[in-house]
Amino acid sequence: MIYTAVGGETLCEVAILHGFPDCQKLRDANAALKDVESLTAGTEVTIPEKKANLFSKAVEALHKFKRRNFPPPKVEFIKEQGKGYATPPVPEDDSKLTQLAVTNYVSDRGGDGLTAGNFPADSVYRHETLGSNDPDHFKIQVYDNGAKANEVKVDLFALKPAYYKDLVGGIAYVRHHATKYTRPTAATRKLENIVCKRIPSTSYFRSPYLRLVSTEASRAKRPKQCLLVADYWDEGPKTYQKHYTEILHQHIEARYSLQNCPVAKCAALKGANLQSDSSLHLAFYIVNGCGITADQIRKTVYKWSRAALAPANLRPIIDQIATVDIPKNMLCVANLTAARRGFHASGKRDATSPSVMAFTVDGIQLFHSPTAGDSPETTADNVIAKIAAAPALAGYTCKKLRHRRSDVTAVASQVSDPFDILIFKADGKLAVVTNVTSNDRPVAGVGGQSLSRVMNFTLNSFPVDWQPASPEQRILRWNYHTAGAMNMYIVGTPLQPVYVGGTPLDGFSPYGPYAGWVADVGPIVYLAKTGVTRAFVILHEMCHPMMHNTHTTAPMNDAGTQTVELMDGAILTEDQHDATKHIADAPIKASYQLVEESGSVLVDGTAATPAPNNTVTTPVLRLHTVATSYGLLKANQDPVLVPDVTDLPASAADA
């Protein structure tokens, strides 16, 4: 008869299920399978005829016959809940895992994540609460009723995924191959000869506590218990392999060589995918002249951001990397100093004469005389109308944007939000605005409206302000942004925050007046070029508007000098954190405070007297919640459109 494999079986397993003690006769009958360790789905196996044995036994009596090696040996991933060590032992009651996840813990810590070295060692096989507290821990369990010794050995691999090009409507996408994986050659990406010890009085064997980690530094803390599922930026070797080899696409495989296979070829395999909730979408705009390259951004994101997001089950996707020129196409209406922002027009340049606003667009000078009481939006509409009516600017278009300010309040109905106007040529390119003036003056202290532009845009000492933000910030983000992505603008160094305690951010927390979300654009970050090439700075800064407005204070590293979490404030000056990759999850005790408005309401954190809405969440939960509300997290998609598709295999067959 012919048996069609479902995939993953050994020839010994198929033989045992069909009444043979092992795989020898099946290998003799299937020359093409004489060296295989396990069968792929769809493989046809010829099952030879069984030879009948005659037994002389008394009739009308009960005779018990035991099938050799039955049921077949198997290997699986389990979550250690202690049931395998109960009395009597019930190892089948422990959870079987079909998905694994990268740990959020410092790799040698267990329990609540605060104590160095207390994760159960590789010599510990029993159940330990300190190990099982990690929701991402796992063990390998082997069943083999033919094994005579009290321990067996298993190999563990992080299999490399394959990718290929998929053309959709003439556009190249990256597609993840659903079934093709390659066993690693690097010693750090496999754990060989893991000892699994017998659970007393059973045919079950278990490994010590194991973890998946995403950085070599984490693996090195517990090299016998941590399997590395890192990026492939350094190993590549192809460009597409560097860029697109996702940590969360890697496949984990356990391999157990069957003890009673007569030819020592059969190996029971168990595979598990990594948990992957969704993708975090990013866009980068490099201002021409700052000295940063697109590949420097790719390396930081594809290497370090990937490593840090993997424990949160997230994949970073770069939707856009563009090098952009300094734009000069914005007019600012009513954007004077703090004392006069947003005033309505007085319509006067002095006590008796009307005021005049002048501006030049691509060499064409235009004028507008505002009417007393015109709001900034009315003036913006009138300026746009002047541009549309100019014959020399036929086909030019404008975009009106409200400059939302938290410090503008109504005074005698003469104060409202300022407005910005972006001007574009007929072909969509950016126009150039020059010679901008306004002589609209306040009358009796009321009114007076400005018309201005960005005069002295600078890469270095770039002006970073809260909302209200500087014109330089606005002209960048309103001209260059990608919908549904975290937009990041790379400028010079250093940045010059005008607020106290500055960081290279415009937009700080997800709450209150310092909201990281900007109308018309979404979440944004301005980053000095010095931060681009440093391991975790890009992700640290992005996580401010996605997570919280203060830095972490716990858990601390082994030396007690800094935290082991991505959001430690020292990340701005120090990259050598013990575990900077981690975005903590329960039950790790990480300390944050998230304050709304001026500190009157503690939104998330701890306080001696809990304030209203004082809900303590985990950083992972907050990251998912806030990023989802921004529209940055999307369901994993295949294929993925990326801006730098290079040297991909042309088809699935070539992958």
What CATH number does residue 569 fall under? 3.40.390
Higher-scoring residue by pLDDT: 619, 332: 332
pLDDT of 592 reads: 65
**548: containing domain:** 282-326+457-635
SS in 3 state form for 418-447? CEEEEEECCCCCECCEEEEEECCCCECCEC
Residue 392, classed as helix, strand or coil, is helix
User: Is 66 inside a domain boundary?
Assistant: no
Domain count, the chain: 4
Which residue from 238, 198, 266, 353 is spatially nearest to 45, judged by alpha carbons?
A: 266
Shared domain check, 627 and 526: yes
Shared domain check, 246 and 189: yes
Residue 471, classed as helix, strand or coil, is helix
Mean pLDDT for 622-643 is 87
pLDDT of 594 reads: 58
Shared domain check, 620 and 508: yes
From residue 326, how far is each of 286, 422, 475, 529 by CA, in Å? 10, 14, 9, 16
Higher-scoring residue by pLDDT: 562, 345: 345
Query: pLDDT tens, 408-451?
Result: 766 656 788 899 999 999 999 999 999 999 999 988 777 889 99
Question: For the packed helices 619-630 and 537-546, what is the interaxial angle rounded to 10 degrees?
Answer: 70
Shared domain check, 345 and 234: no
Task: Tell whether the model's pLDDT for residue 611 goes beyond 50.
Answer: no
Question: In the predicted model, what is the mean pLDDT of the chain?
Answer: 87
Shared domain check, 301 and 447: no
Shared domain check, 268 and 188: yes
Query: pLDDT tens, 86-133?
Result: 888 888 888 899 999 999 999 999 999 999 999 999 999 999 999 999
Shared domain check, 602 and 470: yes
Residue that finishes a domain, picked among 452, 483, 498: 452
User: Is 645 inside a domain boundary?
Assistant: no
Residue 223: CB atoms within 10 Å: 15
| Residues contacting 7, CB < 8 A, separation 6+ | 39, 40, 41, 42
Shared domain check, 492 and 583: yes
Shared domain check, 479 and 386: no
User: Is 19 inside a domain boundary?
Assistant: yes
pLDDT band at 606 (very low <50, low <70, confident <90, very high): low
Which residue from 37, 230, 252 is spatially nearest to 139, judged by alpha carbons?
A: 252
Task: Tell whether the model's pLDDT for residue 242 goes beyond 90.
Answer: yes
Shared domain check, 341 and 396: yes
User: Is 197 inside a domain boundary?
Assistant: yes
pLDDT of 207 reads: 98
With tokens 């069943």, the residue in question is 143
Residue that finishes a domain, picked among 452, 486, 509: 452
DSSP 573-611: T----SSTT----TTS--B--EEETTTTEEEES--SSPP
User: Is 51 inside a domain boundary?
Assistant: no
Shared domain check, 604 and 504: yes
With tokens 């980068």, the residue in question is 284
State the Cα–Cα distance between residues 137 and 628, nearest whole angstrom: 27
| Residues contacting 517, CB < 8 A, separation 6+ | 507, 510, 523, 545, 630
Shared domain check, 178 and 127: yes
Helices (H), 133-263: 216-221, 239-244
DSSP letter at 85 equals: G
Residue that finishes a domain, picked among 435, 452, 469: 452
Task: Tell whether the model's pLDDT for residue 504 goes beyond 50.
Answer: no
User: Is 464 inside a domain boundary?
Assistant: yes
Task: Tell whether the model's pLDDT for residue 197 goes beyond 90.
Answer: yes
User: Is 61 inside a domain boundary?
Assistant: no
Which residue from 591, 584, 594, 593 is spatially nearest to 619, judged by alpha carbons?
A: 584
User: Is 52 inside a domain boundary?
Assistant: no
DSSP letter at 565 equals: S
pLDDT band at 466 (very low <50, low <70, confident <90, very high): low
